[in-house]
Amino acid sequence: MISIICGTNRGQSVSKQLAIYYQNSLQEAGANSYIIDLKELPKDFLNVALYDNAGKSERFNILKKKINDSHKMVFIVPEYNGSFPGVLKTFIDALDYPDSLKNKKCALLSLSSGTQGGALALSHLTDILHHCGMSVLANKPKLAKIESNFKDGQFTNDLYVTLLKEQIDGFLDF
């Protein structure tokens, strides 16, 4: 089973819409997946799921089990402050090291309101996932100016449709 991680806990995020788009695209390619939305993290996540409290939050454990049960993951990553959201790294920090991620495979996709597209976000995240023993697909689309190119759940830019299709094809063979 593939899990799609929506990399922010912001409400009404474009990342969540992209996660749904990605799930539909995977479905069309014959692959089942579920979405893990960081918005579902417990409100007191920082205090109940990390360090000495690892494993103690039932609500977080439900999300963690989904990660632990999947062998392929897609990370949908918005650019925040020149990297990926802190909440995504906090989520990774709360997983089981190394079992949650080691020897698994992932694909990364970034989006930004601005023109950069999130190259640094994906570079940082690659370092971290490699550290955790996860294989990262080389093809990592970086979708700049996302608000102008993705509306009502669909791309208005054919290039972005192609980039995602190529990534999905590569990921299913990965």
172 binds a copy of itself (CB under 8 A): no
52 binds a copy of itself (CB under 8 A): yes
Dist CA 74 CA 108 (whole Å): 6
54 binds a copy of itself (CB under 8 A): no
Dist CA 151 CA 12 (whole Å): 13
Dist CA 35 CA 70 (whole Å): 11
Residue 45's alpha-carbon distances to 67, 114, 126, in angstroms, are 17, 30, 24
Residue 98 pairs with which residues in a beta bridge? none
Stretch that binds a copy of itself, among 4-12, 57-65, 66-74, 150-158 (CB under 8 A): 4-12
| Per-residue x/- track, 65-84, a copy of itself (CB under 8 A) | ---------------xxxxx
40 binds a copy of itself (CB under 8 A): no
Provide the pairing of β-strand 150-151 with 154-155.
antiparallel
Applying CB under 8 A, which of residues 10, 61, 157, 161 lies at the interface with a copy of itself?
10
CB of 28 to a copy of itself, least distance (A): 23
Applying CB under 8 A, which of residues 2, 14, 41, 109 lies at the interface with a copy of itself?
41
Stretch that binds a copy of itself, among 27-35, 58-66, 127-135, 150-158 (CB under 8 A): 127-135
Residue from 129, 124, 127 nearest 103 by CA? 129
